[in-house]
Chains A and B, each alone.
Chain A
Amino acid sequence: MKIKGKAWKFEDDIDTDAIIPARYLNTIDPKILAAHCMEDADPSFAGSVKPGDIIVAGKNFGCGSSREHAPIAIKGAGVGCVIAQSFARIFYRNSFNMGLPILECPAAAASIQSGDELEIDLDTGVIVNHSRHQEYRAHPVPPFMQELLKVGGLMAYVGERLRQEGAQ
């Protein structure tokens, strides 16, 4: 799967309150959540982000709360992928469960600047920066996570197991 879009650069330790502030958590509607995505880090983001655009951040992206509203808001805003130097644990797990592609790539996180035109091949983990004529290779997705993505996320995985048990 390939993703093409413009980079939106953020700093280290972007927390889930910055991704989707708690004042909007009285809903689970992805459209409403998307309208406030990244609001406390960059109020212009939700209004200007285009489908396929890519969030690029420093270390520990998604730290803080366990709210799944964070990957839902990002995905709902049309973001194609998040690249970071590293991800906080719960956010990492939630993103796979939600089907939001994320890549750990310190070299890309360091070099890419806001506005760069990027192209990502999710199968190989290769990130091409057309604006800077650079190429980066992301950490490979762990095999178990790949399997989760392949079946369509965690609930599909569980649903499949329920069907198998029902058939026995």
Chain B
Amino acid sequence: MTSMTISEKILAKHADQPSVQPDDLVEVRIDFALGNDITAPLAIDAFRRSGAKHVFDPERIALIPDHFAPNKDIASATQIKALREFAREQQLPHFYEVGRMGIEHALLPELGLVLPGDVVIGADSHTCTYGALGAFATGVGSTDLAAAMITGKIWFKVPPSIKFVFYGKRRPWFGGKDLILYAIGQIGVDGAHYAAMEFTGQVIDSLPMADRFTISNMAIEAGAKAGIIAPDEITAEYVKDRAKRPYEFYQSDRDAAYSSIYEWDVSNLEPMVALPHSPENVRPVTELPEIPIDQVVVGSCTNGRLEDLRQAAAVLKGKKVAPHVRCIIIPATQRIYRQAMREGLFEIFLEAEAAVSTPTCGPCLGGHMGILAAGERAVATTNRNFIGRMGHVESEVYLSNPAVAAASAILGRIAHPDEVR
């Protein structure tokens, strides 16, 4: 038997081949496909122009208006209406709107719609998030989504795999976000160009699913095709009550081939911040000069999960957001929203004078709900800090974990959570 990585095994299985190797061109069956209010309108347009009448399987497609939802303007409302009409016409059960929705990459795992061993494609670059479940998941364009909605298949070039081994003992406040920012800082925004990043080691083994989702989510920020974590007991515990169809756990063979292997001891690492205007521009928060800020955003498909909100709340408890700072907290799904409310997190946020929003991607991509003016600076738990990403081209975004974002909101400058007393 040929030795394979977890990514190669999943692709081989879905291509009905005994094995695959990097650079092979394969056509694979997909288990699930998704689109959002920005990308699905183009896919629906291509679907209609193709002459196709039906999607391959209505149960395996999700349409989720989350980027400019709740409808930010008339044009956005029109796009979302197109999704709604297509979902109704094709009788798609997985169409989730305001009141039922969530940010796609938080919602689909939460609902058990994407599962270990799956091949998932999404017309959204952060589709790689589901790699945390041990799935091969990757972002594609709208036309690829249209073709997959019709045929249930997609062609891939099998990517080489790069292995990342994290070992040592994490310091307080150092989590999944810091691990992935550190990795991107080390290898650069094209350091994993076209490759599958595979995250392993004792540090990964001990991380809860929330942190694993954050890590896989940002694989695209290193140019990767996928960011995968082999499933274990923690994965099993997460999926067992959510899955409504069979799933499979794959592991890389011991002697599987990697194009490169990185091994990092995290024991002495501090929480990380990515400075403007690139996710590779990473520094430990402790090494930054005084950087005053205007806004903090805690949320997004990267860090809008319950565990992230708990971290922010732990820092914000009994404190006030600095007078000149806006702090916006966005639970990623309705379920997270309700649970945060039940746990009393909203009381902490509101007491701290932070604003709590309904789920949306909103400010992460400069859509709505927290746009920056020229010269303004934000700390955000999101995934990109490109020029103009959150608003004006002369605004700045600093990426961090939720605890650093909360500490920064309180002190009005980028701060380590330990600085909050």
Q: Which residues of A contact B (CB under 8 A)?
A: 13, 15, 17-18, 21-23, 25-28, 40-41, 59-60, 63-69, 72, 86, 88-90, 93-94, 97-98, 144, 153-155, 157-159, 161-162
Nearest CB on B from A1, distance (A): 21
Chain B interface category by residue count: 35 or more
Residue of A41, A63, A153 contacting most chain B CB atoms (<10 Å):
A63
Q: A64-B384, A89-B193, A162-B51 are in contact. Are A97 and B41 (CB under 8 A)?
A: no
Contact: B190 with A60, CB < 8 Å? yes
Q: How far is the CA of A161 from the CA of B367 in the complex (A)?
A: 38
Q: How far is the CA of A127 from the CA of B391 in the complex (A)?
A: 38
Q: Which residues of B contact A (CB under 8 A)?
A: 25, 38-39, 41-42, 45-46, 49-52, 67-68, 72-73, 75-76, 79, 122-125, 127, 139-144, 146-147, 150-151, 155, 189-190, 193-194, 220, 223, 225, 278, 365-367, 384, 386-389, 393
Point out the residues of chain B lying under 8 angstroms from A26, CB to CB: 68, 72-73, 75-76, 79
Point out the residues of chain A lying under 8 angstroms from B143, CB to CB: 68, 94, 97-98, 153-155
Contact: A159 with B393, CB < 8 Å? no
Contact: B388 with A88, CB < 8 Å? no
Q: A68-B42, A155-B146, A162-B52 are in contact. Are A60 and B384 (CB under 8 A)?
A: no
Point out the residues of chain A lying under 8 angstroms from B72, CB to CB: 26
Nearest CB on B from A143, distance (A): 9
Nearest CB on A from B76, distance (A): 5
Q: A155-B46, A162-B52 are in contact. Are A89 and B386 (CB under 8 A)?
A: no
CB-contact partner of B386 in A18, A23, A67, A97, under 8 A:
A18
Nearest CB on B from A64, distance (A): 6
Q: How far is the CA of A113 from the CA of B244 in the complex (A)?
A: 56
Q: How far is the CA of A59 from the CA of B147 in the complex (A)?
A: 29
Contact: A22 with B125, CB < 8 Å? no
Q: How far is the CA of A159 from the CA of B46 in the complex (A)?
A: 10
CB-contact partner of B147 in A17, A60, A65, A154, under 8 A:
A154
Residue of B nearest to A18 (CB): B387
Q: A15-B386, A154-B147, A158-B151 are in contact. Are A93 and B141 (CB under 8 A)?
A: yes
